A and B are shown apart, each in its own frame.
Chain A
Amino acid sequence: MLRSVLLIFFLFGAGATMAQDVEVIKYPQLGAIINTNEDGIKVINFWATWCKPCVEEIGYFEAANSQFRDKGVSVILVSFDFGKDVEKKVQKFIDKNDLRSRVLVLDETDYNSFIDKVSPSWSGAIPATLIVNSKTGKKQFYEKTFKEGELSEVIEAFIN
């Protein structure tokens, strides 16, 4: 009994204070995040656990998430992992790397229907990153892998 109480405490208590839980969404939910009227700047990175260049730059996004949080910037990692891999791969990746940024899995099939809505300059290749100030409508889009130090420079420039 004590053991199961401890186990439950461990599972739920730990989950709340440590790494994030992955959320599965459809495009309209992402569209709402991009076009919301709330304050704040969002750095939305499109990635997948199977995408090597994406995984290599995740650390920069994690660093930016803590570095710029008090400046009203939040990092959102939007994964294109397939539905069956959400627990097996994405949640495992989050836990293993102790990710603190919000992680979403975009479970869509008709890609052509929303890529231009994120940015007309996006070919569809990942990694890709959208920085947006929803309130002012200011947007910047990058279809590339960031190098060390480059992402924080880009965010810094966007804020100022």
Chain B
Amino acid sequence: MTPTRQQRPHVPGARGGRGSGPRGASRAQPDVQVTALSSGSAWHERRESGANVLEIDSLEIEAVASGSAVIDDVSLALRPAEILALVGESGSGKTTVGLSVLGHFRPGLRHGGGTVTLYPSHTDRPAEMTALDDAALRRLRGARVTYIPQDPALSLNPGIRVGEQIREVLDIHNFGASAEERTERVRSVLAEVGLPGDDAYQARYPHQLSGGQQQRIGIAMAFAMYPDVLVLDEPTTGLDVTTQAQVLDTVRDMTVRHQVASLYITHDLAVVSEIADRVAVMLRGRIVEENTTEEVLGSPQHAYTRKLLAAVPDLAGRNRIGETAEPGAPAGSVHEPEAPAGSSAGFAGRPEAGSAAAAVRAAGASAVVLEVSELGLAYGENTVLDGIDLELEAGECTLLLGESGSGKTTLSRSIAGILDSYTGRVCYRGEELAKNTRQRTLDQRKQIQYIFQSPFSSLNPRRTLGQSLAVPLEMSGELNAAGRRDRVKDALDAVRLGRQFYSRRPGDLSGGERQRAAIARALVNMPSVLICDEITSALDVSVQASILALLRTLQEERGLAMLFVTHNIALARHIASRVAVLNKGVLVEAGPVDEVLDTPQHAYTRELLTNVPKL
């Protein structure tokens, strides 16, 4: 829990303004009007007393096709000015529960039983969200209960100006008494979320805003009608840490200022610790644990919660994620041993201590496997990369850190020879590589392997893993069919999938299993350099932890030089021995992990480090 929360400025004017003014005069048609009643009403008293604004009781949601329960016996309650985090991994049903608060069930799902009761502020009668007709639901949605979606780029209408999209909510729900008042409200809510409210800004289309600004538009839209209940569905997932910190601040501030009861859906426990008052943990459609944030994060009761916590990478590197968080690991083993006493917590077992790397060094051979010098790339006027110098040593992992648009993927693709329009040199064991991978020698191609971000799109769904993994071997053409089969099976063993996966197809596999298969494909040619491009960012934290553990093992077993590209600085101490920070195409900082994280030299690195949410 951050102590700063209680110190946040409380803006009395904003709340005082709710009861007074034209909204107070709108009581004439209580069923049509959905703006809040003035103070003194029964609802107002209810809120002042801190009673529940929303109650979910024994909610059951089932799949239409099979009739099986997707959500089973979920009960939650939301109180004013309080943020309840709903935590779970993908597929746990947290979004399904969140949408049921708005009485919405996605196609293929239906309400099976239980109730979702809203106590809206515009009337004294509670509303049963699962039983209302469409018209009644529409009156509440966007007014009394609102939604902030995960990806603003997808959920803002690309063809409507942003001001108009906010204005639409006010128009539909008859906000205020006049058009002028609505115009004024659009302006004021934009100001509240920290955006300029002028006409020129309102006239922009979503594509003309940055991701952070788009999400603020989503927040403004959700707060425009002064709602009673707010559902936030992973609103910061696509944002970089700095923007995420700002958006979290805004959400927190608005929730407290307007006494909104919020349900914050996320898989990120670090974010939870920054923003939530209470936490409910979901596993396969059920709530397994619910308590205050301190209790859940500090002394988790359920094994699954402990597993989730153990899998969260922390900047300090205290818990070496993945060591015991293998999927299917017995629940009892989740508890992390304390780091060795002393100041250098977590130093033991660092990747550079790997036996193969040590052997290389002991032999006195030059450990530099790959050397990038003066690498630059520009598209016309637009410089993407500028003067990049980077060295990768055998048995060492370098974390290449950068936010979206920093050029990190461009750099890794240039090194791999997928992009060939760069200037500068990439040398493998002292020998300059041709720019395009097609011009490189067979051995050079085999030695440098690339793993893509999304395991869902990098494996051909029509081929078995055996077929997909044999392709690199067919390309190198050194082994016969039997030899290739053995090599592929060995690789499947090496990534802890096992050779029984040889004839399975990607469709039967989970995300983590697919990424293991993709890693195996990179390993079949026995490379010495592995480029991992955001390979864990599409995965849940517990899967990420197990993949990181696998990479550490492989690195130690094989003495691989690894470039681990990521936007998540918290992974640094868990995988890498060196860190290189890329900002707008320039390497602003590079060095050993501890040096960079403990004494960052560049302002950009320092800013990143301050904005990382901490457990």
The answer on A and B forming one complex is no
Binding site for B on A (CB under 8 A): none
